[in-house]
A and B are shown apart, each in its own frame.
Chain A
């Protein structure tokens, strides 16, 4: 197959598409484009959901590395020394201890069970962006006592009647209001609401924060233990690196060290697995539709031009030229379809980045990497080429006599 043959095959292909049925070309390109979109839409959306869950987990729950009690223990003990050790290590931005205690909130006629989380605000601000999510008032300051910040769903809305509430709340707490908190150990105290936040991450929005100092008052002693410690990595340091470091310096003696990825593979991993099945199905369906459509399009084209093909062969056009003529047509259609698909996908992605589908746990936007676009393009392209070359090969091998008689 020389250059001249390929050139002629390409010319024939190009002219057939340019001067043949316009609507057939447009419809074929449209179908390939839609199949491409279909192939990439669900996986990208799942991947976007996964990303948004992951981001919120990192931001509001586990940060990059989570140090939790060893199995069998309820708390991490010797917390001051442990924190000093972790904070002193290269690559660690900050470690923030967490300690929660169940409590009952009372405000006017309302009573609500809430988990109160003790944090040390200076540390926590370096680890979690809750302080950027204040919708009213301000974040806790280091050493604040008698002040509490609560999630927006807990604060509630005074304009909504209690019966109509989606979830129980305190019925419209405002900054500066006083709420009575009765802890599980019987300790009761009035707090001034210093701020109200809304992160979109429901477990945090349904909790309240007080300072470490305040919790020590509740416990009646120095609090040298924590439920867990979240550790934020400095940019440029991998979680695995820091985890290894922590283990090497003996943090593992006091607690269990897990990276966000370790945790994710356990919890979200299951979800992602079910996503993967849906993704595979949508991929297979798209590939099959594209293959079938192109196969039919090219088969019809070749059947309609059997006589034509016979004539071309009779005047000395090699069967390879005939085959590549249809091959090139499918390649051109495939490329146009994929380009259209990429455009549609990017437009959808742009639209969904402005209008994501939002739920308390995640917001769905399209997470698309150039690699996703590339692999899907390649898969679809290969399917297209096979679908086109099969009938092209068959028709190009037909005897001249039977072809011309058609």
Chain B
């Protein structure tokens, strides 16, 4: 589903060059719950940004669903993100002036293939799944961090994306809330066969992943199926 070939990203800060991604090659299969782990600064976010079409690689190739994304125009990228991708950020990133329901509906409202009724139905459905239906008229600031992150997940899922990206979604949460959020990711992965690519550097999160990629200095240092995850 995602084929990454010799991906490089070099940041130039004056005379200093930072190789955030250093010749990375990787395939991600449909339905996978992939965990990207590694120390801070190892290039995890950079990789996720490339896959999420949020930034351009310096060189290398990314093919998603058979499409070379480097050929997309700006507008095509936006539409690709809207129709095919879901994104959960570390700091929830909800629109503060919109209610939970409005936040979740927002991406669906922009889709040409959704009627208003369907948007409402889908938003309702996903809010039920994350268990915040009764909070739908609340503003984000009236919710706890864990609840906000669940709303953020609902927003990413409302359009039933092909791939769901999450960049350290639990970094701002305590263990208990992290567990609730991660359980939701797993539930979505299993019940909807949702492809998920999640960045994390908390070691205990690895229990949730099918497959774990470990990165260091912009390179993959290990890549393996996580046997344990199936049993937890």
Contact = CB atoms under 8 A, between A and B. Distances in A.
Given A400-B55, A401-B55, A315 B79 contact: no
A19 B81 contact: no
13 contacts: A4-B109, A4-B111, A308-B93, A308-B95, A314-B52, A314-B81, A314-B89, A315-B87, A316-B82, A317-B78, A317-B106, A317-B110, A318-B75
Contacts of B86: 315
A93 to B, nearest CB: 66
Contact of B107 (A11, A16, A308, A316): A316
Contacts of B10: none
A405 to B, nearest CB: 11
B171 interface: no
B89 A15 contact: no
A12 B103 CA distance: 10
Contact of A316 (B79, B93, B112): B79
A8 B55 contact: no
Interface in B91-149: 93, 95-98, 102, 106-107, 109-112, 139
A312 B102 CA distance: 13
Contacts of B74: 319
Given A15-B98, A16-B97, A19-B97, A401 B83 contact: no
B156 interface: yes
A400 B85 CA distance: 15
B107 to A, nearest CB: 6
Given A15-B97, A308-B93, A316 B110 contact: yes
Interface string A372-406: 00000000000000000000000000001100100
B26 interface: no
A15 B102 contact: yes
B97 A319 contact: no
A15 B97 CA distance: 6
B43 to A, nearest CB: 14
Given A12-B95, A316-B83, A316-B110, 13 more contacts: A4-B109, A4-B111, A7-B109, A11-B109, A20-B97, A307-B93, A312-B95, A313-B78, A315-B81, A316-B85, A316-B159, A400-B55, A401-B49
Nearest to A16: B97
Interface secondary structure of A, over-half rule: helix
Interface residues of B, number: 32
Contacts of B55: 400-401
Interface of B: 49, 52, 54-55, 74-75, 78-83, 85-87, 89, 93, 95-98, 102, 106-107, 109-112, 139, 155-156, 159
A2 interface: yes
A2 B96 CA distance: 25
Contacts of A218: none
A310 B85 CA distance: 16
Of B74, B87, B110, the most chain A CB neighbours within 10 A belong to B110
B109 A315 contact: no
B85 A2 contact: no
A35 to B, nearest CB: 27
Nearest to A9: B110
A321 interface: yes
A5 interface: yes
A311 B110 contact: no
Contacts of B155: 315
Given A15-B102, A19-B139, A311 B97 contact: no
A11 B101 CA distance: 13
Contacts of A15: 95, 97-98, 102
A18 interface: yes
Contacts of B106: 8, 315, 317
